[in-house]
Amino acid sequence: MARDNSKDVTHQQTMSKLSEKSKQTSASLLNSTKATPKALADSGDMDGVLGQIYQLMVDNRKDELEQRQIDEKNSKTDTRKEESRHQELLKALTVRRRPKPKRVIRREKKAEEKEAAKPTTPAKKPAEAAKKPAEAAKKPPEPAKKPPEPAKKPAEDTAKKAAEDKAKKAAEDRAKKEAEDKAKKAAEDRAKKEAEDKAKKAVEDKAKKEAEDRAKKAAEDKAKKEAEDKAKKEAEDKAKKSAEQVKPPEVKPPPKAEQVKPPEVKPPPKAEAAPAAPKPPTTPKPSTADKIAIGVATTAALIGRESLAANISKYESGNKGYNAYNRGDFWLAKGKTEAAYLQTNDIDFSKMTITEYLKRTNKKLGAGGQLDAADPNVLFAVGKYQLIPGTMKVMAEKLKLDPNKTYLTPEIQDMLFVKGLTTKGSGGRFAVDDYINGKEGSTRDAAILALAMEFASVGVPYDIKAKSLFKNTLPHVDLKKGETFYKKPGGFNAAHNPPEEVGAALDADRASKLKNKTTTVPPTTTDTGTKVDQSSKENADLKEKLNKDKSAQTTNNTTTTNKQTNNVQSQQKVDDRPPYARKQQQ
């Protein structure tokens, strides 16, 4: 029997059109029936095989449509994610905002994972696919049905869900942004309010502190003024009382001294020493207090500066005089406590050398001090003119004083004031010396300003701008007339000596100086000259210093003293030369 080859060709064409999945299904079907296409063709059951193949093609078409829908859905999801990432990137580049909190990032990541984990339409299992053609083989072949239309519902649901997610996300972002703006605004308002409260409190504290400082300063000034007035009154009463009690001794004319004839000296075989002149009777040495009381100790050193010295010492040392002192700013800050200490703890500076004083100063001042500022034994300004360590050291060097042997006696203090502070040529203020001596071009204001630079208690003679002197370093602040040259915030210096009073003292000394230059010196009594000469001998070192400038210190007392001293010395001199020498001179 001849074989029908046309059926084999048809079978091969049909098999070539099947997909791989259908081929696998067809192969499993043939294996299950244990029949070959050739056997089926020989048995005449080819129509059943074709029906099964058609059914496989229909199923394959359905599978392809479902797979296409899944691919489209995945593509849309990828596109949406890409667009979302693109929008976020644009927003991040254009909108400056805080990074997302970690909890939001975790929630979004969890949502993405949940979206990716949704089950897709699974492919039919091979067993089910193999079972279905077997069942179809038992049933008669059905006419070909129209291929089903692709499902639109899943795509619509996906788009709807995407829109809802987008709207939800936008709402969350908007709510989050509003919450952030609200929190930011609240924080700014809170910070602003705190800053305003802080500034207000600072202003109140400053005003309160200024009021307290003002009240404290007023109380201190009042107490200080009362103390000064009281001390001044006590000093005046004491001086008045002492003046009433101590009357000058009556000066009786001395008996005529018998002329002392020199003893006849015979020429000895060898030169013998001539007999010494008889020594004057010894008198008790007056104390420093006695010398100050009678005016001898101060008058000799203050010649030509009496009025100025009285004015300066009045406001610098007050009733303490030559033994006044203070211990510096550290102790002055204690106010009334320090004032009480200074009133009850006296120091006799006539028993202290310059070296001893400098050793008791603050070591940070660089004047040889060995103590700290807080040491209770420290000293700063001392004496009747309140000399400070640096000034004391410089004056001792310029005046060539031995600091180890020079005591701060009243004579030395007066000499330091006259020579060291108010006389040019030895370190003093030349403007003061020029004005008192009537030098052409000198002015009173220049002399007052020079004294204000030396003494903090002296007020400046006119207004001065800050940093206008000494290479733009002083004064520290703008000054009004009458204020101290060393005024500064938080300082303890204050001017109590008005420039008008200082000017009056300068004018008095100037008038006295100019008058002495043009008038004749009247004669004085022998007793006065003798007393001054005796006091000068007791202070030989001081006399030597004072006599260096005789033209500036020549007054009535000193002129007579020098004459009387020369007369006494000539009367007591013994001519011990041999007779032939005296004859030759005659």
List residues bridging with 407 in a β-sheet: 353
For residue 132, with 0-12 CB atoms within 10 Å meaning exposed, 13-18 middle and 19 or more buried, which class applies?
middle
Residue with more model confidence, 228 or 482: 482
Q: Are 567 and 529 in contact (CB under 8 A)?
A: no
Please write the tens of the pLDDT for every residue from 110-130: 999 988 887 665 545 555 555
* Average pLDDT score, the chain: 74
Other residues' Cβ atoms within 10 Å of the Cβ of residue 303: 20
Tokens coding 439? 């030098």
The CA distance from 237 to 242, in Å, is 8
- pLDDT for residue 442 is more than 70: yes
Question: Per residue in 507-518, pLDDT tens?
Answer: 999 999 888 765
**Predicted confidence (pLDDT) per residue in 294-350, tens digit:** 333 454 778 889 999 999 999 999 889 999 999 998 998 888 898 889 888 999 999
User: Smallest Cα–Cα separation from 495: which of 473, 508, 479, 507?
Assistant: 479
Ranges assigned E (strand) in 166-295:
none
Nearest-CA neighbor of 21 among 49, 57, 72, 52?
Answer: 57
Most confident of 14-28, 194-208, 530-544: 194-208
Residue 417: name the closest of 545, 313, 289 by CA: 313
Torsion angle in degrees (nearest 10) through CA of 39, 43, 44, 49: -40
Closest CA to 18 of 50, 45, 56: 56
pTM above 0.85, yes or no: no
Distance from C-alpha of 189 to C-alpha of 185, rounded to nearest angstrom: 6
**Please, are residues 506 and 435 in contact by the beta-carbon 8 Å criterion?**
yes
Q: How many helices (H) and strands (E) does the chain have?
A: 23, 0
Instruction: Output the CA torsion sign for 152, 153, 155, 156.
Output: positive
pLDDT of residue 355: 95
Concatenating the DSSP letter of every residue in 66-122 gives HHHHHHHHHHHHHHHHHHHHHHHHHHHHHS--PPPPHHHHHHHHHHHHHHHTSPP-P
